[in-house]
Amino acid sequence: MKKIIISIVALGLFSGQGFSQTIESMQIDFVSNISDLNIASVAEVELSEEVRIDKIKSEKVEVKLAPVAKAKKTKGEYISLSDYVNLSGSGFLPSNGGYTTIYLTGWVTFRDMSGKITSNQVYMNERVSFWSKENQYISESVYVNKNIQLYKDGAYVGSTYVSGSIRVSGWPSSNYIRLDGSGYLRGSFYLGE
């Protein structure tokens, strides 16, 4: 900027014109140089930029979302299981009567009504405790609550409890007694699909 002012002043001094005349002639040159510019093209550039921005603003952007897959409803059912259980066991009684415990065992396979849901063979090992008198008939209830594993077509599907009461009885012979009995054990199981 300093160089331009110095050169303007020097130009005015050497050309013999006054400083003010030199400035006036430069303003005219400057103005004439601006008029040389193609103002229409500048306006077109600015206008085209505005139009393009407006065009972008006015265009609707459509976003398509992928359809959401509906969760598959699982359909399950409650399965009832039961089977008839035989238990038997023997043991010694106190010679003049008294409190004793007898262990009872048996094997059973539980299944549903259709026969498709089954357990493997389940070993039952229960105990019954009671007071006895010499040569007295014994009749007692055994309460069972047993966890079993279940299978469908050979594949494991879960586990559940079967429960029930089994009545066992027997006559003592001297100080020895054998107890036998049977009854139903039942349970239920929710089988998901």
Q: CB neighbours (10 Å) of residue 119?
A: 20
pTM of the model: 0.57
Residue 43 reports pLDDT greater than 70: no
Residue 161 has phi, psi (to 5 degrees) of -105, 140
Which whole-number Å values give the CA distances from 19 to 9, 13, 26, in the listed order? 6, 7, 11
Cα separation of the two ends of the chain: 88
Band of residue 28 on the pLDDT scale cut at 50, 70, 90: very low
Strand 122-132 to 176-191 pairing: unpaired
The answer to whether 161 and 190 are in contact (CB under 8 A) is: no
The answer to whether 122 and 153 are in contact (CB under 8 A) is: no
Per the structure block, which two tokens stand in for 12? 């005015």
Q: Domain residue spans in the chain? A: 2-58, 77-191
User: What pLDDT is recorded for position 78?
Assistant: 87
DSSP string, 156-171: EEEEEEEEEEEEEEE-
Q: CB neighbours (10 Å) of residue 93?
A: 23
Return mean pLDDT, the chain: 75
User: What pLDDT is recorded for position 5?
Assistant: 46
Digit-coded pLDDT (tens) for 124-179:
999 999 998 878 899 999 999 999 999 998 899 999 999 999 999 999 988 899 99
Taking residues 58-80, report their average pLDDT: 62
The SS3 assignment for 73 reads: coil
Residue 105 reports pLDDT greater than 80: yes
Helices (H), 37-135: 39-58
Digit-coded pLDDT (tens) for 71-95:
455 577 888 988 999 999 999 988 8
